[in-house]
């Protein structure tokens, strides 16, 4: 499961579809409607929010907005359209940029070349950026 902190406009089609699906799974987990993924690291920041369901719905609202811009037909009835703000560190955004570029290099060269020219990707609209390293919830593999 990957709930990107970067703006969804940077995701290719496969990435946008995946984050919608995974975000809906995260919502089910936070609602207590699933047995799996209960302790998934990507859920930690949402669980820490005073209203986790509102936060994940706000996250998904922005994914929905991006999908409509692209002409996709995501099922809006699966979420409550919400607004919420959370923080993300600059280090997390830098990590995710590298992570996304690595994924795109193998699956979507055109999108890779488009994003490789950008120094800093914007954050998902619900996140306010603050200085800091990679977030504690991130599980870092030997990516870079």
pLDDT for residue 21: 96
pLDDT for residue 35: 80
**What stretches in the chain show pLDDT beneath 50?**
144
pLDDT per position as a tens digit, 3-12: 999 999 999 9
CB 98 within 8 A of CB 56: no
pLDDT for residue 142: 58
Angle in degrees, 0-180, between the axes of helices 52-69 and 13-31, rounded to the nearest 10: 160
> How many residues are listed for the chain in this entry?
144
pLDDT per position as a tens digit, 6-44: 999 999 999 999 999 999 999 999 999 988 778 788 899
If you count DSSP H runs as helices and E runs as strands, how many of each does the chain have, helices first? 5, 2
pLDDT for residue 66: 98
The string over 68-94, giving b where at least 16 C-beta atoms fall within 10 Å of a residue's C-beta and e elsewhere, is: eeeeeebeeeebeebebebebbeebbe
Closest CA to 78 of 52, 57, 95: 57
For 64-139, list the strands marked E by DSSP.
86-89, 127-130
HSE-up of residue 42 (Cα within 13 Å, Cβ side) = 17
């Amino acid at each position: 499961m990957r709930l990107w902190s970067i703006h969804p406009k940077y995701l290719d089609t496969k990435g946008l579809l995946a984050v919608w699906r995974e975000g809906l799974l995260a919502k089910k987990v936070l609602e207590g409607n699933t047995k799996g993924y209960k302790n998934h690291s990507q859920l930690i920041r949402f669980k820490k929010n005073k209203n986790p369901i509102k936060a994940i719905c706000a996250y998904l609202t922005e994914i929905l907005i991006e999908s409509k811009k692209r002409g996709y037909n995501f099922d809006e009835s699966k979420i409550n359209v919400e607004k919420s703000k959370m923080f993300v560190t600059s280090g997390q955004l830098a990590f995710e940029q590298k992570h996304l570029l690595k994924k795109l290099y193998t699956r979507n060269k055109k999108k890779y070349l488009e994003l490789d020219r950008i120094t800093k990707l914007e954050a998902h609209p619900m996140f306010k950026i603050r200085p800091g390293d990679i977030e504690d919830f991130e599980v870092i593999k030997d990516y870079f």
